[in-house]
Amino acid sequence: MRPSTLAPLVAALACFACGGGSSAPPPSAGAPATSAASAASSAGSSAPTATAAAPAEPPAQTHAQKKPLEIYNGCREVVTVVFAEDPAEAGAPKRTIAGFASSEGARRADGTQTVWLVDDQGKGLIRVHVTRPMKRVEIGASCRTLDAR
C-alpha cells in the first residue's frame, strides 16, 4: 500500500475507534477518492473494537425535573432562597434573587421541592412545599412571605 493511501485509512480507523461514527474523513489531495473510500469502508468492517469506556452520561431527567420551578422576587430587596428540607443543610442549592426579578430552581426527581426563604445569616424564615403541578413560587412585597402556585 502506498503511503498516500495509508493516511486516510489510519484516520478512518482512529475516528471509528473513538466512536466518531462511520463517516470517513475527506481523502488527502494525493489519493484518489474511490480508493480511499473503499479502503475506509473495507477497513471499517474488520477494524478492532474500541476498548475504552464511553463517558458516563447523566441519568435521564423525568418530565417533572425538566420543568424548572420559577422563583419570582416581588419585593425590593435582594433575597436568598434555599432548595432543601433543611436550610442549614451542607451543599443545599441556593439562589440569590434581585428585587423584582426571577430565577429558576430545580425540582426533585418526583417533581416536588421544598423552598426556604432565608435571612442574611442563612437562617430559615419561612418555607413552602412545592408539588408537581405547581409552576411558580413568589416572594411577597414584605420580603417575608412565600406563595407557591
- Encode the chain (149 residues) as per-residue pLDDT tens digits: 555 555 555 555 555 455 544 444 455 454 444 444 444 444 444 545 545 555 566 566 666 556 889 999 999 999 999 999 999 999 999 999 999 999 999 999 999 999 999 999 999 999 999 999 999 999 999 999 999 99
Nearest-angstrom CA–CA distance, 43 and 22:
11
**Which amino acid would we find at residue 11?**
A
Q: What is the pLDDT of residue 61?
A: 60
Q: Which CATH class is domain 63-148?
A: mainly beta
Question: Number of H helices and number of E strands within the chain?
Answer: 3, 8
Query: In this predicted structure, what is the pLDDT of residue 3?
Result: 54
Joined together, the cell numbers standing for residue 27 give 481523502
pLDDT, position 67: 82
Whether the CB-CB separation of 31 and 39 falls below 8 Å is answered with: no
Task: Determine the 3-state secondary structure of 116 from DSSP.
Answer: strand
Q: Domain limits of the chain?
A: 3-46, 63-148
